[in-house]
Every structure is written in C-alpha cells, then in structure tokens.
C-alpha cells in the first residue's frame, strides 16, 4: 500500500538487497486496445469493434466501482514509452523485477475473456491472452511465468485450453477469478479442476470477476472500498463452496491458491466450517474430512494485501495458524495497493520461515525448486 501511517515506526524485517524473492501476483497489461488482435481470429476483431465484450455487468468502459487511481495502479508505474501501468516489460524489469530481485514472477492477466456472457468470445480471448503472455512476457524474460487463463463459465472450453497448454513450461497455474455466475465448487466448473489436476497445474483464484450476482448477500454496496474489502468475503464463500461440494475429495492431487484476498480470515473460516460440518455432515456425506484439514492440505495463499494489525505479533500468530509453508509472497505490481517486499514481515521471523515465505513455498508449489 503506498499510503503508510504509523504512530510509532516498528522495526521491519529488512530484506537484503540480494535476497531472491518470488512475486506470485504480477499484472501484465496490454499497451494498446488492439494488442491482442494478432492472436484473435478476424471475426472477433469486427465483433469486438461492434459489440465489445458484453460482460456480466453494465459498464461498457471501466469497472462498475471506479478505482482509487487510474487502472487501480501506481502513479509512478506508467512506462516512459507510454501505455498503461504494467504494459512494458522493460519498465517492469527496471522498476520492479531487478531492484526487488524477483527471481520468479507469476503473471495474472486481468480484464481478459473471463466474465463475458458470450462464451465463444470468452474462450477466444482467453486463448489469445495465453499466446500473448508467451510472446510478450515469458519468452522474453525467463523469470516470468504465465497463468493459463480460461473461459470460466464454459467448463469444457476451459478444460480444452488447459489440455492445450499442459506441459508448456511457460505456464505454472490455471487462473480463475473469485466471482462467477455460481460459487466455484459448482459442477459447471468441475471440468476445469479435472483438467488442471491432470496437467499437474495448481488453480489460482484471484479476487475479482463478474458473475452477475450482487457482490454482497444483501445486494450492491455503494463504494469501491466495500468492493475491495469484500473480495475477502467473496473468496471465503467461494472456498467454502469448493470444500463443501467435495471438489478436493474428487481431486486429491489438486492444489489451489487464493490470490489477493488476504489470508487472515482462513483460520476462522476453517473453524466455522468444521463446527458447521460437525452438525450438518448428514447433508453433505461426500465431504468426508473436516474442512480445516482439506484447506490445510490443498490451499495456498498469496500474501498481498497483508492484513495489518495494530500489534504485528498478532499477524505472526495468525500465520502460525495458517501455516508458514502455505504463504506465497506477492506484491500485486503495478496496482496501487502494492506491498513493498522489504516491509511486509515484522522482525522476529526465523530464517527458514522467511525464506519459505518469500521464495521457497512458491518454487516448491510451482515445481521450480
């Protein structure tokens, strides 16, 4: 976060300039509106010019909740050659990858083909985004790895795209968003999990997305801050759905990553799920293990935006409950609520935990150790 106020400065754990880190949430952008066209069949060019994307929300241009800054991105992240923040590899290298010694950067493209009502268009844009990630990013900088972006509402098309990319070392995960037409455990999404497990790819679920549902269980809120804070609630419910539909009983090899939705809520959600499951397990006989065990075995969490307690030892206790082996460091570059690598962990963390947090867990999960 680029606005910091603290009454009394606290000692932060200093990351040595040479300490290598993984950044598991980087957002690459297109420099121009038509940058994807070379990867799209000609029929879609005309379609997009005429009808645009037709998503599960009303705004033709821009998000329904105006962001706090242009493109939700740092004002200092505009590339000198022009284009929006995050659209230049050379500037990303200069501003972020090199100075922060990012040795593994996972790309999570947003504003893709996901959340589009025309599912053929959705699949075409997603596949184009994947080709574009290889051409513009991963083939140009070996530190960067892509995400297989899939047509989230069309399970079969999504599975086909995952099969197409399976074994391609440019990609380290499948990417979904948290808000969809239905909760993520629902059967329409099962082909995605099947294909991901077969391809040996974890599935990342990034906060955001459009599914047509009000973003609270009481309808639409008024403010951007409600949407931002609310990503954690959407993510909690999506995760509860995955657990309670038995997705991990069906796919014991599947790993999932909760991206940019916080992790401080994980213990209380797991406890609530356990307690409710003890009472109501007769309704969900396919859920055979306590939900907290399933979450512990299958779920990883990216760190940004780190919860920020008044007393930072409280944060360390929560990480003890979540598991030091389950967190993946992320900055969210170039977004405005970027977490600065040198400042996120308070002092007093063991070297082994620090190494796992900044790099080791990500290398292990993504098979890059």
Partner 1 sequence: MTSPIPGGVDCDLHPAVPHLTSLLPYLDDYWRDQVTTRGMTDLVSQSYPPNSPITSRPDWRPSRGKPGSSLDDMRAQALDPFGTRYGICNPLYGVQMVFSEDMADAFCRALNDWLAKEWLDRDHRLRGSIVIPVQSIEKSVAEVERCAADPRFVQVLMLVMGDMPLGKRAYWPIYAAAERHGLPIGIHAGSNYHNPPSSVGWGSYHIEDYVAQAQAFQTQLTSLIVEGVFVRHPKLKMVMLESGFTWLPSYLWRLHKFWRGIRMETPWVDRAPLEIVRSNIRFSLQPIDAPPDPTTLNRLFDHMQSDELLLFSTDYPHWQFDGDAALPEGMSPALVRKIMIDNPLATYGRLMQAVFEETTP
Binding mask 59-98 for partner 1 (x = CB under 8 A): ---------x------------------------------
Q: Is 49 in the site for partner 1 (CB under 8 A)?
A: no
Q: Which of residues 180-219 bind partner 1 (CB under 8 A)?
A: 180-186, 211, 213-219
Q: Is 358 in the site for partner 1 (CB under 8 A)?
A: no
Q: By C-beta, is 37 or 56 nearer to partner 1?
A: 56
Neighbours of 75 (CB within 10 A): 11
- Binding residues for partner 1, rule CB under 8 A, total 74
Window of 1-9, 156-164, 247-255, 295-303 that interacts with partner 1 by CB under 8 A: 1-9
Are 78 and 84 a contacting pair, CB within 8 Å? yes
- Nearest Cα to 339, choosing from 232, 259, 236? 259
Q: Is 230 in the site for partner 1 (CB under 8 A)?
A: yes
Can you say whether the dihedral through the CA atoms of 166, 167, 170, 171 is positive or negative?
A: positive
List 24, 124, 149, 273, residue binding partner 1 (CB under 8 A): 273
Q: Which of residues 318-347 bind partner 1 (CB under 8 A)?
A: 318, 321, 336-337
Token pair belonging to 274: 């356990």
Q: By C-beta, is 21 or 205 nearer to partner 1?
A: 205
Q: Is 245 in the site for partner 1 (CB under 8 A)?
A: yes
Q: State the minimum distance, in angstroms, from the CB of residue 4 to partner 1.
A: 8
User: What strands lie across the sheet with 102-107, from one edge to the other?
Assistant: 21-26, 102-107, 144-149, 171-177, 203-206, 256-259, 299-302, 327-328
Q: State the minimum distance, in angstroms, from the CB of residue 115 to partner 1.
A: 12
Q: By C-beta, is 120 or 226 nearer to partner 1?
A: 226
Q: By C-beta, is 197 or 245 nearer to partner 1?
A: 245
List 113, 155, 191, 267, residue binding partner 1 (CB under 8 A): 267
Q: Is 112 in the site for partner 1 (CB under 8 A)?
A: no
List 220, 249, 347, 369, residue binding partner 1 (CB under 8 A): 220
Window of 111-119, 120-128, 266-274, 346-354 that interacts with partner 1 by CB under 8 A: 266-274
Q: State the minimum distance, in angstroms, from the CB of residue 210 to partner 1.
A: 11
Q: State the minimum distance, in angstroms, from the CB of residue 322 to partner 1.
A: 10
Sequence-distant (6+) residues with CB within 8 A of 120 are: none
Q: Which of residues 276-315 bind partner 1 (CB under 8 A)?
A: 276-277, 279-280, 282-284, 305-311, 314-315
Separation of alpha carbons 316 and 235, rounded Å: 22
């Amino acid at each position: 976060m680029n606005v910091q106020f603290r009454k009394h400065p606290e000692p932060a754990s200093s990351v040595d300039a040479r300490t290598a880190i993984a950044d598991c949430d980087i957002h690459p952008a297109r420099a121009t509106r038509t940058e994807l066209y070379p990867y799209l069949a000609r029929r879609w060019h005309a379609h997009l010019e005429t009808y645009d994307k037709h998503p599960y929300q009303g705004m033709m241009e821009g998000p329904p909740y105006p962001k706090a800054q242009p493109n939700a991105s740092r004002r200092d992240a505009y590339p000198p050659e022009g284009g929006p923040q995050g659209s230049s590899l050379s500037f990303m290298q200069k501003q972020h990858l090199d100075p922060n010694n990012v040795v593994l950067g996972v790309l999570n493209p947003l504003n893709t083909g996901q959340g589009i009502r025309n599912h053929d268009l959705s699949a075409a844009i997603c596949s184009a985004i994947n080709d574009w990630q290889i051409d513009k990013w991963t083939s140009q900088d070996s530190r960067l790895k892509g995400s297989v972006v899939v047509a989230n509402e069309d399970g079969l098309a999504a599975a086909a795209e995952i099969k197409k990319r399976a074994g391609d070392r440019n990609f380290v995960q499948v990417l979904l968003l948290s808000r969809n037409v239905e909760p993520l455990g629902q059967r329409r999404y099962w082909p995605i999990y099947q294909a991901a497990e077969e391809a040996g790819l974890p599935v990342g679920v990034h906060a955001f997305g459009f599914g047509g549902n009000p973003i609270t269980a009481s309808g639409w809120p008024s403010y951007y801050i409600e949407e931002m804070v609310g990503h954690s609630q959407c993510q909690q419910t999506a995760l509860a759905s995955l657990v309670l539909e038995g997705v991990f009983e069906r796919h014991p090899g599947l790993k999932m990553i909760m991206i940019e939705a916080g992790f401080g809520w994980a213990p209380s959600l797991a406890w609530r799920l356990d307690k409710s499951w003890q009472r109501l397990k007769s309704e969900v006989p396919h859920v055979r293990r306590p939900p907290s065990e399933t979450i512990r075995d299958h779920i990883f969490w990216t760190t940004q935006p780190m919860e920020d307690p008044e007393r930072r030892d409280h944060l360390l206790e929560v990480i003890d409950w979540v598991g030091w082996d389950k967190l993946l460091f992320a900055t969210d570059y170039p977004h405005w609520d970027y977490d600065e690598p040198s400042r996120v962990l308070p002092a007093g963390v063991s070297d082994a935990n620090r190494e796992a947090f900044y790099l080791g867990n990500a290398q292990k999960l993504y098979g890059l150790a």
